[in-house]
Chains A and B, each alone.
Chain A
């Protein structure tokens, strides 16, 4: 049986992500970073990031909607994580 013969439940596409799924994904692909802003004497920048291959951009949009904040950006040249 070819994989395309399996019916894909189109209703799945509209499901929002489960909070434990988000934690599991971050355990694998997320990172928390802090760094010194060297332009200013005592300033720091922070970032919470999840980076995946471009094919997963739909998932990134779901994660953004889940948290209700943040931004999505692309790096066209990078191939591996």
Chain B
């Protein structure tokens, strides 16, 4: 059977899974990430997201207008300091998971999302295969634990000012 080969990178289009219902997030999404927590800086965004949802639900029970405007202020404050707007004063350390080893399934999920598998011609007859994961510098701790699991000697700091970290492992054949 001949294999069909798709030029994957040239194919346009993205596919998006999203949950926008607060009820569904409370019932299905938050319990999942409480039981199987994130380990990188995204954990902080998850915490702010949960806090925001709690405040949005609380707002519905408020009648006093000054209490409502205080509630809205707090939510806006969360929004203005999460995701890409978050400022880090020090490297993030996942203290909520101290001593919890990286689950192998977590590793494959993370590499599915942010990793690349590379096969390239090295010289004329040799091929080099490598696995590589790039992260923002703030995620140093996460990438360093991934490095240990994958048995890679060192982390590569590509650019400290833009904050790109890389681990990669390669072999010649």
- Chain A interface (Cβ < 8 Å from any Cβ of B): 2-4, 18-36, 42, 44-57, 59-60, 63-64, 67-79, 81
Residues of B within 8 A of A (CB): 1-3, 6, 8, 11-22, 24-25, 27-29, 32-33, 35-40, 42, 45-46, 48-49, 52-53, 56, 59, 68-69, 72, 75-76, 78-79, 82-83, 103-115, 142
B103 contacts A56, CB within 8 Å? no
B55: min CB distance to chain A, Å? 9
B83 surroundings in chain A (CB, below 8 A): 31-33
Q: B123 → chain A, closest Cβ, in Å?
A: 21
- With a cutoff of 8 Å between Cβ atoms, the chain A residues found around residue B76 in the complex are 36
Cβ-defined contact, B14 with A21, below 8 A: no
A70 touches B106 (CB 8 A): no
The chain B residue with its CB closest to the CB of A63 is B17
Known contacts A24-B109, A35-B79, A46-B22; A4/B14 CB under 8 A: no
Q: A19 — which chain B residues lie within 8 A by C-beta? A: 32, 35-36, 105
Residues of chain B contacted by A21 (CB below 8 angstroms): 105-106, 108-109, 112
Chain B residues within an 8 Å CB radius of A49: 16-19
Q: Is the Cβ of A32 less than 8 Å from the Cβ of B106?
A: no
Q: A-side binding surface: helix, strand, loop or mixed? A: mixed
| Among B6, B14, B27: residue with most chain A CB under 10 A | B14
Number of residue pairs spanning A and B whose beta carbons lie under 8 angstroms apart: 197
Q: How far is the CB of B49 from chain A (nearest CB, A)?
A: 4
**From residue A18, how far is it (CB to closest CB) to chain B in Å?**
4
Contact: A53 with B11, CB < 8 Å?
yes
In the bound assembly, the distance between CA atoms of A44 and B76 in angstroms comes to 9
With contacts A2-B3, A24-B106, A27-B113 taken as known, whether A46 is within 8 angstroms of B53 at the C-beta atoms is: yes
* CB–CB B2/A53 < 8 A: no
B15, B28, B52, B103: the one contacting A20 at CB < 8 Å is B103
- Some 15 contacts from A to B, beta carbons below 8 A apart, are A22-B36, A23-B109, A27-B40, A27-B106, A29-B113, A32-B42, A32-B83, A35-B79, A42-B69, A48-B29, A50-B16, A50-B18, A63-B17, A70-B24, A81-B14
A42 touching B16, Cβ below 8 Å: no
CB distance from A56 to the nearest CB of B (A): 6
Tell me whether A20 and B106 are in contact (CB under 8 A).
yes
